Structure 1
């Protein structure tokens, strides 16, 4: 099948992987037409995907399944194919090594292989972290040099966004915030204006102080800044742009709406810029930990923007990758959520360590699942090699088990 390079044994599997040597003369793949992602473990056939702007891809597997590495298989090759890349929720700063030279390590290449003609390559990246998360690093620890802390500007948010950020804890607070911001336009927002509106709208001192405290918390954490502002989207032409969210779990139970605001904001503004012609696509969006930020049944701003982008983004040149260990916890046909993100998937990639409830949720979104043949699927998942993926093509109603290629870029996870 392969003319150039050499073959390396694929662990204890029956087929072999292609490992290029320095004199590899094979022409590189045409990444604009299709990207190679793996090999069929039964036939050894190279598997490539032609990604369209309408495609939604689900990468579903438990911890340790290789989700991040597999995402990089897509990202590194789509980057070569001219795609802009926006990672909206890198919760572990896993993309910090994208630009490590010379790219994928020889060990990873020998483990997973390349397609003929491929060469390892670092991918330029810019990683932005919300300023309030950046300040969560301990004082005694050097803050990562690859991160750029940033705050939103008032021009980046709507009055509804700010109301969501304030997260009123009572009906009285909610009514006060609604009344004080009624008729107010986003360009009129400033902290001084907001404090003045609190006093002008309410005669209840205790209530006013509670709302002022909420505004002060947003101001002190530099979530929105009157003067300082940086726009990650300005870097998309030359870099993979990453919203880095390490430390987010400190806000998991209190203040999570602040993290969700940054995710929602970068998604919405990218979609709007593509719509208005200020940004040229195609733009791949990656959403990791989807079961946290796009949780079914949740009334979160990040979930709503993800749903809107999943549906509307097809017309603006936005293919998407959703990654999660719990597809049963993102909007799907099994729950009472009116949205169905799992049902929007064009391709599903399911890891062998996925819980049964989760792979059943994913497969029900296709024409392949038959509850009367449940044991067949159980046997298939149990027989899959570690780090392989069950690839389901929803439109073609076909599936195969693939062994993923190595990413072109570095992966140290």
Structure 2
């Protein structure tokens, strides 16, 4: 291998007759004047005499071809392997043409590829193009990952990709981007497994109910850590909720806005006038309902009822209280009161005020991962409150320490969410957006970090996107999303062209920690998603199971005539838990007969179904 053609301080061309170049592999240029610079293959191709050169559109220009001919390469008959090599560090002057090029030893490039140790970092996958370094790899980096490729699992064959979680103090926040089927959710699962291994407190908002870590992949049982006591799943309304008495007036306004769109100024005025510190849900709800009733009946209606005849003392006292409320709050619009009532009732019916967030706080203090599950809109409402509450606890502790006071310790933690563009959309207000933007800009000082995954980076708030110092970019097809990622990362034009064609699980990692883009493949996850079953296989399995159950019930009653189907369908429904009618049973019997699983004999008087003999 040697350098050919015109060179610059950033890029050179390398040629070889015997060796084919691998994309993203690292090579060393033996130029003593530049202290043997290292570079990465960013583009490669092969020429041979059976393929027209097409010099005007090829990887190299006519000057490179001319230099190849001058140093002895026969363009017409030799197979030539060419590569564009991009230097990791800009050289003070161009590389000398003709310099030999060789594969490096691992110790020569460890600083470029590995920033931490497997014990202290997140072992996320294998760096592509590093297979040639396997023989010289340090012992502590061997056998760290397993890779799923072409439907089969293989052992590690290159350098493992280790992400230094401690570097987030300087380069905070992570973005995970990729289209449907790109491996984005799989990569997020692997990242959460590594956070559990390291015992880092994490809150995950899971709108798809897929972040379950209880089932281990059978092939990896010998290698998988025991995650049993490292994570907990909680459902909003069942295990966790909001302690209404702890809400400030501002918190309540945010929740009502999340429950049903934007809150008008008059609704804000209603909440500010009626909400009291330490109100329970019942006291605030009763006050709201009483004021609404007083405004509906009006002063004349209440006085008419009060003086209109015999009423018991309890009823009279209630009417007097309503008159007092009317005189105090008659300036409030009834429509705004009704709007607040509707939003409050919607949150209460969802079970939001039946629990508190202490299970989440307790799990974070134990260094566990908490998966918060619920419907999409309920997650957004709950996230508005819980993120702010947890962030305040951490901030109050750090501020107290800065002032020399003894605050109650609350650990640093990560906030992780899939479908992040729903929580912090660009150009549109959302319940959790304000607190997430604050954390994106200031959370690093307090040890609170974001991990955002989304299929549509273009729809994510630009302020937050700009603060994501590490971005995992999986296969992306949409031109607008690719353009956004090109603007927000250091992806080269060549890498941008590759984005629509990446295999599922392959990803570019653009990270300030590495100072460059690294191409890697995500390792095999230790655990399995509950949604991993192919839906078409599921359909076939359910059908087969249903057929077997129905056949087992019918076999005891065969032979069966079509005049007996009413009694038979009642028996089948009872035994198999079905809701068939007679026409449906006849259709199923005809299908089973067509498949040869039962026998069907027709006569002028009746149709007979019998067992196959």
TM-score surpassing 0.5? Answer: yes
Report what 1:71 is aligned to: 188
Displacement after TM superposition at 1:261 (Å):
2.0
Report what 2:475 is aligned to: 352
Q: What CA distance in whole angstroms lies between the structure 1 residues aligned with 2:339 and 2:270?
A: 15
Report what 1:114 is aligned to: none
> Which structure 2 residues correspond to residues 393-412 of structure 1 after superposition, within 5 A?
393-394=511-512, 396-412=514-530
Are 2:362 and 1:234 aligned? yes
Displacement after TM superposition at 1:362 (Å):
2.2
**1:384–1:401 CA contact under 8 A, matched in 2:** no
Displacement after TM superposition at 1:382 (Å):
4.5
> Which structure 2 residues correspond to residues 257-272 of structure 1 after superposition, within 5 A?
258-272=378-392
**1:283–1:319 CA contact under 8 A, matched in 2:** yes
**1:73–1:407 CA contact under 8 A, matched in 2:** yes
**2:413–2:447 CA contact under 8 A, matched in 1:** yes
Deviations 1:212-243 (A, max 9, x none): 34333333333224xx4352222221531111
Report what 1:8 is aligned to: none
**1:120–1:409 CA contact under 8 A, matched in 2:** no
Secondary structure of the 1:188 match is coil
Report what 1:274 is aligned to: 394
Are 2:423 and 1:293 aligned? yes
Q: What CA distance in whole angstroms lies between the structure 1 residues aligned with 2:244 and 2:446?
A: 25
Displacement after TM superposition at 1:105 (Å):
3.4
Deviations 1:262-319 (A, max 9, x none): 0122211221222233454332221211111111112112111211222222122123
Q: What CA distance in whole angstroms lies between the structure 1 residues aligned with 2:261 and 2:121?
A: 53
Displacement after TM superposition at 1:56 (Å):
0.9
Name the CA shift for 1:105/1:269 in 2 (closer, same or farther; >3 Å).
Answer: farther
Deviations 1:50-80 (A, max 9, x none): 1134321111011112222211222212222
Secondary structure of the 2:434 match is helix
Report what 2:243 is aligned to: 153
Q: What CA distance in whole angstroms lies between the structure 2 residues aligned with 1:149 and 1:407?
A: 28
Are 2:417 and 1:311 aligned? no
Secondary structure of the 2:161 match is strand
Report what 1:105 is aligned to: 218
**2:197–2:225 CA contact under 8 A, matched in 1:** no
Structure 1 residues without counterparts, runs of 5 or longer: 1-12, 16-28, 111-116, 132-147, 249-255, 333-339
Displacement after TM superposition at 1:326 (Å):
0.5
> Larger relative CO (CA 8 A, sep 6+): 1 or 2?
1
Displacement after TM superposition at 1:183 (Å):
8.7
Report what 1:94 is aligned to: 210
> Which structure 2 residues correspond to residues 150-299 of structure 1 after superposition, within 5 A?
150-167=240-257, 174-182=265-273, 184-196=275-287, 199=291, 200=325, 201-202=329-330, 208-225=337-354, 228-231=355-358, 232-236=360-364, 237=366, 239-245=368-374, 247-248=375-376, 256=377, 258-277=378-397, 278=408, 280-299=410-429
**1:345–1:394 CA contact under 8 A, matched in 2:** no
TM-score normalized with structure 2 length: 0.50
Q: What CA distance in whole angstroms lies between the structure 1 residues aligned with 2:265 and 2:218?
A: 54
Bigger drift between 40-49 and 183-192 goes to: 183-192
User: How many pairs were matched up?
Assistant: 337
> Which structure 2 residues correspond to residues 10-21 of structure 1 after superposition, within 5 A?
none
Displacement after TM superposition at 1:189 (Å):
4.9
- Structure holding more helix per residue: 2
Are 2:174 and 1:57 aligned? yes
Q: What CA distance in whole angstroms lies between the structure 2 residues aligned with 1:128 and 1:84?
A: 15
Structure 2 residues without counterparts, runs of 5 or longer: 1-22, 26-115, 131-157, 292-324, 398-407, 533-613
**2:233–2:372 CA contact under 8 A, matched in 1:** yes
Displacement after TM superposition at 1:33 (Å):
2.6
Decide which structure has the larger Cα Rg and report it: 2
Q: What CA distance in whole angstroms lies between the structure 2 residues aligned with 1:57 and 1:64?
A: 20
Q: What CA distance in whole angstroms lies between the structure 2 residues aligned with 1:239 and 1:41?
A: 32
